[in-house]
Each structure stands twice: as C-alpha cells, then as structure tokens.
Amino acid sequence: MTKNLLLIAHRGNRLEYDENTIISFSKAIENGVDFIEFDLHITKDHKLVINHDNTLQRTYNGNGIISKMTYAEICKFRTKKDGQKMPLFTELISAFKNKTKFLVELKGDNVVEPVVKIIEKYNLISNCVISSRDLWKLEKIKYFLPNCRICYNITKAKEYTLKKFLKNNSSKIKSLKFDMISLRSTLVSKNFIRICHSNNIIALAWDFINLKNSILKIRELLKLDIDGILFDSLTNLKIIRNELIK
C-alpha cells in the first residue's frame, strides 16, 4: 500500500455536502486533502463558474443552461441541501489558493482561453493541474502554458481511448505528455497502473459513490499501487488517511 497516496476531494465532499460549493471544499481542506477537484463552465457573460453539469436542475433549485445564463441570473438559485450559491472560479482561488492545490476539470468548449488568463493572472501554475476528457483542450492548454501539468480523464475519452492506451504504444503516450490520467474506479486494472508508471504518469481513480462497499474498492486499488484517489466521502477519506499513517 502506497504511503504517498494523493488525497483528492471529488467536487469537495459529495456525500456530506452539496458538491462543488465553497463549504464542501472548505470541509475537505480541513481534513488534509492534497487537491480539491472541481468542474468549470462559462456563463453567458463570460464568468467561469464551478458546477459539474451544464445545467442547474440536478443540484440547484432552479432550471437553466449555464452557458445561456448570466452569473447574476444563476445567483438567484441555491443548492438543494445546503443553500449555497454557485461559486466563481476566482472566489475559490481567493479562498483556497494557499491552502491546497486544484484539479480543474474543463467543461464546455469555450473555457480554455479564459482559464489560461486566470492561471496567468493569479500565478496558479504550481497550484493546479488541468484535466479534461477532450484531448484537444489539453493540447491547447499546453500550447499556451507549456509548464502547466495536465490530467487526461480517459474514462469516456473519444480521441485517445482507454483501449488504445492499454495497447501501450509508449511513443504515443510520451508524445502526449500527460502528468496524470484519471479513470473510473471499476475500470482500473493492474495493467493500467503499470503502463502509467512505466511512462511516469500518476494514476488516479474516481467514482466510488454508488459502490456497495466503496472503502473495500479503495483498499483494493491501493494494493494495486494506485497513486491517487478522488474521494466522494469525507468518512472514507479519514479512514484511508488514518490507515496510511499507521
């Protein structure tokens, strides 16, 4: 079992608090995570906001498509459980830049250049890793910010699929210059981790929220030498963190 496991809060703490909210991230940071993971969309008035879906209705008490709404319109609504407003990326930076690192998932087709501007403005290069399932977005990030670390969310990727990755074409993998690759927990195999490690890529596992025994699955992945876990639960995070320090 690795002692250097990256503890990553997946959208904050999805089970205990409303996902992708300031309070959810704050509670995760209080419990010693290495990264908070979150998703970025852009509004009609070009504000970068933190939300997983491109619509409001799953997590907020309202309806609408984020890209077709202004931020002021979005702020009329609150999350269903904790009554939180949708945070701006800049708000999150102000609150947590010096307290943790950011794993930033890019959503929507028009977020790359605004994100680049924010990273440059707030000097976030050493504090963030940019993630996407779209290879072209990561290539664009590297074009503008060659020193920015990138994470390929390969689970539903179409341009360079998990099947292709597992064929282990090392020259292709090295040319893509991934720092991390994230994969749904139920798809992670010893071979996936081996190929990541042979190419100096950090292997991450996510999506434990619907498993019958999520802590058992996490322990199985630790035995396979996974490098990082995106935790959905603060309880699981505490259990694993305590096991690692024994």
* pLDDT number for residue 151: 98
Mean of the pLDDT values across residues 15-34? 96
Rounded mean pLDDT, 22-45: 97
Q: Does position 89 have pLDDT exceeding 80, yes or no?
A: yes
pTM over 0.85: yes
Rounded to 5 degrees, what angle do the CA atoms 26, 32, 35 make? 75
Contacts of residue 22, Cβ cutoff 8 Å, sequence gap at least 6: 84, 87, 91, 92, 95
Q: Closest Cα to residue 47, out of 79, 103, 105, 90?
A: 90
CB 40 within 8 A of CB 48: yes
pLDDT at 1 over 50: no
Q: 39: closest CA among 61, 12, 5?
A: 12
Query: How many Cβ atoms sit within 10 Å of the Cβ of residue 239?
Result: 15
Q: Tell me phi and psi for residue 46, to 5 degrees.
A: 65, 35
Tell the CATH topology of 6-244: TIM Barrel (3.20.20)
Q: Where are the domains of the chain?
A: 6-244
Residues contacting residue 177 through CB under 8 Å, at least 6 positions apart: 142, 150
% of the chain with per-residue pLDDT over 70: 99
In the chain, DSSP assigns E strands to: 6-10, 35-42, 48-50, 101-106, 128-132, 149-153, 180-184, 202-206, 228-231
pLDDT band at 205 (very low <50, low <70, confident <90, very high): very high
Residue 246 in this model has a pLDDT that exceeds 80: no
- In whole angstroms, give the CA distance from residue 226 to residue 35: 16
pLDDT tens figures, 214-227: 999 999 999 999 99
Cα–Cα separations (whole angstroms), residue 40 to 21, 46, 65, 128: 12, 12, 14, 13
* Count of Cβ atoms closer than 10 Å to residue 45 Cβ: 11
For 125-134, what is the mean pLDDT?
A: 97
Percent of the chain with pLDDT over 90: 93
pLDDT of residue 2: 53
Angstrom distance (rounded) from CA 18 to CA 86: 10
Q: Is the pLDDT of residue 77 over 90?
A: yes
Q: Go through the chain and tell me how many residues it has.
A: 246
Average pLDDT over the chain reads 96
**Tokens 């929220």 — which residue?**
209
Question: What's the pLDDT score for residue 3?
Answer: 64
Average pLDDT over residues 127-132: 98
What's the pLDDT at 191? Answer: 97
Query: What's the CA gap between 119 and 142, in Å, rounded?
Result: 12
In sequence order, which residues have a C-beta less than 8 Å from that of residue 176 and are 6 or more positions away? Answer: 135, 152, 160
